[in-house]
Amino acid sequence: MHLLATLEFPPIGHLVEWKSFLLPGFNKVALICVVATILTLLLFRVAGRQAQLVPTGVQNIVESIVEFVREGIIMQTMGPEGLSWLPFLTSLFCFIFFANIFEVIPFIQFPAPARMAIPLSLALLVWVLFNYMGIKSQGFVGYMKSSLFPPGVPKALYLLVTPIEFLSTFLVRPFSLAVRLFANELAGHLLLVTFAVLSAALFTKTFLVVILPLPAVMLVLLTGFEVLVAVLQAFIFTILTAVYIGGAMHPEH
Amino acid sequence: MMNLVLAAQNADELLKGLGAVGAGIGYGAAAIGPGIGIGIVVGNAITAMARQPEAAGMVRTTMFLGIAFTEALALIGFVVFILLKFT
């Protein structure tokens, strides 16, 4: 047992809580959010300043992002009427991606959405937006009717269906949207911490050093996996936003 | 089991241990359903893509939506695990 004396998982507070600096409440998580916002702005500013017909360099990247959001997300879920949401969805995608990717950037290594406040505020923004769009395009009564009383259900079943629809549309949607991003990022962070702690603990002069490559290689592989998760979660958050807004604008008949 | 209970001299230690056991079992149980569900979603999506490669884009989008909804349950289980284990 004494061989692995240094193997001790740090308490969760050490992993996700940071000291404030400059301003009260302004900590590492807030700084990452600010940096992610600036990076998003800068990316499109730099690419759009000298837009050329034949794109080069950073314009290539930005055009493929916009193309991806337009063809892969909006056209698949909202149809051509949703194209006015392209700027919002593109910036949402980029912001979440940049906030996530700090998980694997050396010396920062913390994804901002691993604190509940960030995904929760994004999910509440989406909640307000899709309800606003629903009320705007169908009127309050029409929106409530289409979201609480789905057509094609026997009359008596509405006693059961309406409460379920109310819960799932207005309460579970923002909750699951926030929790999905939060839990994925926190789980990824804890996973990387676990393997980093294990690698550090095995870095000893005892015979245990022979199994050191296992967690170390796993750590490298998981870092690559976290990049994948960062992109995937940004994509899923954006596509669910598009589905919710599109569904509020055009109810099923 | 009884010896274990007696060995934990103070109630705090016992509570902590049982909490950890519950958290572990809870997360394990929460991962079963979504694991099977994601398997079914992705398996059927692959079948659809293999049968109709021209519809692959649409199938992929829908597949990710299905994964997202199924995975939410496992993630809620993970959050419960964190709450039980660390608070």
Q: Which residues contact A51 (CB under 8 A, 6 or more apart)?
A: A59
Contacts for A186-191 with beta carbons within 8 Å, 24 or more apart? A186/A16, A186/A114, A186/B78, A186/B82, A187/B75, A187/B78, A188/A103, A188/A111, A188/A222, A188/A225, A188/A226, A188/A229, A189/A15, A189/A16, A189/A103, A189/A110, A189/A111, A189/A114, A190/A15, A191/A222, A191/A226
Q: Which residue has the tokens 């769009």?
A: A133
- For all residues of chain B together, what is the average pLDDT? 86
Chain A residues touching chain B at CB-CB below 8 Å: 11-12, 71-73, 76-77, 176, 179-180, 182-184, 186-187, 232, 235-236, 239-240, 243
Domain boundaries, chain A: 2-249
Q: What band does B57 get if pLDDT is binned at 50, 70 and 90?
A: confident
The complex's ipTM works out to 0.77
Q: What is the pLDDT of residues A16-47, one digit of tens each?
A: 888 888 888 889 999 999 999 999 999 999 88
- For all residues of chain A together, what is the average pLDDT? 89
Average of per-residue pLDDT across A104-133: 93
Using a CB-CB distance cutoff of 8 angstroms, which residues of chain A are in contact with residue B68?
180, 236, 239-240
Inter-chain touch B75–A12, beta carbons under 8 Å? no
Inter-chain touch B76–A236, beta carbons under 8 Å? no
- Count CB-CB contacts under 10 A for residue A124: 13
What are the helix and strand counts (H, E) for chain B? 3, 0
Q: Is the dihedral of CA A92, A94, A99, A104 positive or negative?
A: positive
Chain B residues touching chain A at CB-CB below 8 Å: 57-58, 61, 64-65, 67-69, 71-72, 75-76, 78-79, 82, 86
Span of A11-15, A99-103, B56-60 with lowest mean pLDDT: A11-15
